[in-house]
Structure 1
Amino acid sequence: MDDLKDKENKDVDINTFTKEQIINSNKYRKNRDLLTAILTSNNHYSIKQVDELIENFKKREVK
């Protein structure tokens, strides 16, 4: 039974949020315009994913 619980916990994703929730949060207030452009409305994102997207975008080479 414990093995089943462990497997279920691994399958359950960490908390995710919609684009609206993220761009309206205080944490991402400074990056609101950036996130509005790079996030899609039909996806859910974890905090880690959003932080990585911001970091990767800011590290991109300007063409």
Structure 2
Amino acid sequence: MDWYGTIKRYYDKGLWTKKMVGDAVYVGKITTDQYFDITGEEYEVPDTVPFSVGNVVDK
């Protein structure tokens, strides 16, 4: 699956938030560079495990 392309498309359409894109970085679906390409911001490592991470891992 092309995670980067899918996540970018969803983010651009407003279906995904920056937090959701960050969750995808956290679980290894995209890189921090790809996060920057999608959001225009640097990825910041969360202090805690993202709550919605299960949604990304299960799909």
TM range (shorter): under 0.3
Specify the structure having the higher radius of gyration (Cα).
Answer: 1
TM-score, length basis structure 2? 0.28
More strand as a share of residues: 1
Name the structure with the higher helix share: 1
TM-score of the aligned structures, taking structure 1 as reference length: 0.27
